[in-house]
A and B are shown apart, each in its own frame.
Chain A
């Protein structure tokens, strides 16, 4: 895998954030917060009329983007994120990033990246940094 500093990671898209998957997620996480499954509760809090996506799902989309680029989920070494805003049911999202360093550590070739998740046409809702292991350069050139 030929990777250089400044290279942009291929974007990973969510066509429409699903309110139904938020309900399943609430059950999986045993998260009682109704903003994730009850539009009435969202309205009552003055946050609009669409359920709010769980933060871990937003983080998971960025992990998917990194896996699609690097070759699999087993490549992820580190991900640090800051949550900047809410994602609502129906939002269209894009996850992406840029390579900031390529280095070796304990025999692994690693890429450090800046990453983001943003609502299409809007502001980032999550920003962070990540480190993924790259396939050895020789793998593709052999």
Chain B
């Protein structure tokens, strides 16, 4: 799955990843996981509504790729220091404790930029959709951007 053997890709190779789809998968909001997530985020565990952080957790947890696989699509590894850029959670219906969600999505943007002090870097956007396995309803969208430093 990893393309990291390519090394630093050209701007054209980076752009060519737009539209590449994730294998996808399924994520279950297990009650034990809901309890632990509430605990680490300093919230009260609930019996029904899952913490909205689960939109990100479920989406990124069921892309069908490891983080290194995803970085590899852009010729990078975790040790290259990719950074979390921006995130957007959109909730159409709150996730439930015990719910099972299907995840699908794709790379939506990829662009080479050059910062005055940071030098060249790539900004990659990807969007994931969550569907409730029980009734097929589209319950949430998770959009993220990753910044890949490109040291020359």
Give Cα distance in the complex from A63 to B42, angstroms: 11
- Among residues of B, the one whose C-beta sits closest to the C-beta of A55 is B84
- Among residues of B, the one whose C-beta sits closest to the C-beta of A13 is B42
Chain B residues whose C-beta falls within 8 Å of the C-beta of A25 in the assembled complex: 40
Interface size on A, residues (CB 8 A): 30
Given contacts A14-B42, A28-B33, A61-B41, are A77 and B90 in contact (CB under 8 A)?
A: yes
Q: Are B78 and A63 in contact (CB under 8 A)?
A: no
Q: Are B41 and A60 in contact (CB under 8 A)?
A: yes
Chain B proximity of A124: nearest CB distance (Å): 14
Q: Are A60 and B51 in contact (CB under 8 A)?
A: yes
Q: Are A57 and B88 in contact (CB under 8 A)?
A: no
Q: Are A74 and B86 in contact (CB under 8 A)?
A: no
Interface size on B, residues (CB 8 A): 29
- Among residues of A, the one whose C-beta sits closest to the C-beta of B88 is A80
Q: Are B40 and A63 in contact (CB under 8 A)?
A: no
- A56-81 residues with Cβ-Cβ distance < 8 A to B are 56-57, 59-61, 63-64, 67, 72-74, 76-81
Chain B residues whose C-beta falls within 8 Å of the C-beta of A76 in the assembled complex: 52, 89, 91, 94
Give Cα distance in the complex from A63 to B88, angstroms: 12
Chain B proximity of A119: nearest CB distance (Å): 16
Give Cα distance in the complex from A67 to B94, angstroms: 13
B57 partner, pick from A29, A67, A81, beta carbons under 8 A = A29
Given contacts A24-B39, A28-B36, are A60 and B84 in contact (CB under 8 A)?
A: no
Q: Are A79 and B52 in contact (CB under 8 A)?
A: yes
Q: Are B84 and A78 in contact (CB under 8 A)?
A: no
* B47 touches A (CB below 8 Å): no
Given contacts A28-B37, A60-B43, A64-B43, are A81 and B51 in contact (CB under 8 A)?
A: no
- B20-55 residues with Cβ-Cβ distance < 8 A to A are 33, 36-37, 39-43, 46, 49-53
Q: Are B40 and A83 in contact (CB under 8 A)?
A: no
Give Cα distance in the complex from A76 to B95, angstroms: 11
Q: Are A61 and B42 in contact (CB under 8 A)?
A: yes
Q: Are B87 and A81 in contact (CB under 8 A)?
A: yes
Chain A residues whose C-beta falls within 8 Å of the C-beta of B91 in the assembled complex: 76-78
Chosen A-B contacts, 12 in total, with CB atoms closer than 8 Å, are: A21-B40, A25-B40, A28-B37, A29-B57, A63-B41, A63-B51, A63-B53, A74-B49, A78-B90, A80-B88, A82-B85, A83-B86
Enumerate the 10 nearest inter-chain pairs by beta-carbon distance, A residue then B residue, closest first.
A60-B41, A80-B88, A74-B94, A21-B40, A60-B53, A55-B84, A25-B40, A74-B49, A79-B89, A82-B86
**A residues touching B (Cβ–Cβ < 8 Å)?**
14, 21-22, 24-25, 28-29, 31-33, 55-57, 59-61, 63-64, 67, 72-74, 76-83
